[in-house]
Amino acid sequence: MSSGPLGDDGDGAALGDGGSSGSLGSGGGRTALVDVLKRVGVFALVVLVVVAGGTAVGGAPVSSAPTVSDVTVESFSGSESVVDVPPQEGELSMSADGDGKVIVIDTVHSGSVQRAALTPMVNTLTESGAEVRYRLGSRSGGGSLNESLAAADAYVVIGEGDPYTADELRGLDNFTRSGGRVLVVNEPSTGLGALSLLFGGVSRDTVTSPLSPAVSQAGLGFGSGYLYNVENYDLNYRSVYATPTGESPLTEGVDRAVVHASLPVTGDAVLTTTDGTTLSETRRSGAYGVVARSGNTTVVGDSSLFDQEFLYRADNEKLVGNLLDYLVSGEKRPADAPGTGSESESPFGA
Partner 1 sequence: MVNPIDRRVATALQSYTVLVVAALLIGAAVVPFAVGVTTPEQKRVAVVQVNELITDATSTDTVQRLRALRSDDSVVAVVLRVSSPGGFAAPSEAMYLAVRRLAEQKPVVTSVGQVATSGAYYAAVPSEAIYVTPGSNIGSVGVRGRVPTEGLSSQATTGPDKTVGLTRDRFHAKLESMKRAFVGAVMDERGDRLSVSRATVAEASVFGGARAVENGYADEIGGLEAAIAGAAAEAGVTDYEVRYYDPAQSALAALLNQSAGPGGSSGAAGVSSGAVAAALDDDETSVALDSYAGVDTVQFLMVYGVPEDTSGSYNTTAAAEVTA
| Residue 275 or 343 having the CB closest to partner 1 | 275
Instruction: Rule CB under 8 A: say whether 33 interacts with partner 1.
Output: no
Burial of 300 (0-12, 13-18, 19+ CB in 10 A): buried
Q: Specify the stretch interacting with partner 1 by CB under 8 A; choose among 69-77, 123-131, 173-181, 322-330.
A: 69-77
Instruction: Rule CB under 8 A: say whether 89 interacts with partner 1.
Output: no
Minimal distance in Å, beta carbon 150 to partner 1?
37
Instruction: Rule CB under 8 A: say whether 59 interacts with partner 1.
Output: yes
Minimal distance in Å, beta carbon 123 to partner 1?
19
Segment (H or E) for 39: helix 26-57
- Alpha-carbon gap, residue 22 to 18, rounded angstroms: 5
Q: Specify the stretch interacting with partner 1 by CB under 8 A; choose among 39-47, 97-105, 129-137, 138-146.
A: 39-47
In the chain, the DSSP E strands lie at 102-106, 131-135, 154-158, 181-185, 221-222, 227-228, 233-234, 236-244, 257-260, 265-266, 269-273, 277-279, 285-286, 289-294, 297-300
| Residue 46 or 166 having the CB closest to partner 1 | 46
| Residue 285 or 294 having the CB closest to partner 1 | 285
Q: SS3 for 105?
A: strand
Instruction: Rule CB under 8 A: say whether 29 interacts with partner 1.
Output: no
Nearest to 111 by CA among 188, 212, 202: 202
| Residue 194 or 290 having the CB closest to partner 1 | 194
Minimal distance in Å, beta carbon 231 to partner 1?
5
Q: SS3 for 263?
A: coil
Instruction: Rule CB under 8 A: say whether 51 interacts with partner 1.
Output: yes
- Alpha-carbon gap, residue 258 to 312, rounded angstroms: 9
| Residue 101 or 313 having the CB closest to partner 1 | 313
- Residue 191's identity, in one-letter code, is G
How many CA atoms are closer than 13 Å to the CA of 327, on its beta-carbon side?
A: 34
| Residue 307 or 315 having the CB closest to partner 1 | 307
Is beta strand 233-234 parallel, antiparallel or unpaired with respect to 277-279?
unpaired
- What one-character-per-residue DSSP string does 314-345 give? TTHHHHHHHHHHHHH----SSTTTTTTSTT--
CA 292 from chain centre, in angstroms, equals 25
Contact track, partner 1, 219-238, x by CB under 8 A: -----------xx---xxxx
Minimal distance in Å, beta carbon 229 to partner 1?
9
Cβ contact 240:272 at 8 Å: no
Instruction: Rule CB under 8 A: say whether 21 interacts with partner 1.
Output: no
The only residue of 33, 34, 39, 281 in contact with partner 1, by rule CB under 8 A: 39
| Residue 194 or 305 having the CB closest to partner 1 | 194
Instruction: Rule CB under 8 A: say whether 205 interacts with partner 1.
Output: no
Contact track, partner 1, 280-319, x by CB under 8 A: -----------------------------x----------
- Alpha-carbon gap, residue 27 to 117, rounded angstroms: 110
The only residue of 25, 26, 27, 62 in contact with partner 1, by rule CB under 8 A: 62
Instruction: Rule CB under 8 A: say whether 8 interacts with partner 1.
Output: yes
Helices 26-57 and 9-21 pack at an angle, to 10 degrees, of 130
- What one-character-per-residue DSSP string does 52-99 give? HHHHHH--PPP--PPP------HHHHSTTSSPPPPP-------SS--T
Instruction: Rule CB under 8 A: say whether 166 interacts with partner 1.
Output: no
| Residue 78 or 141 having the CB closest to partner 1 | 78
Minimal distance in Å, beta carbon 317 to partner 1?
16
Which residues make up the interface to partner 1 (CB under 8 A)? 1, 4-9, 11-13, 15-16, 20, 35, 39, 42-51, 54-55, 58-69, 71, 73-76, 78, 80-85, 88, 189-192, 194, 196-197, 230-231, 235-238, 309
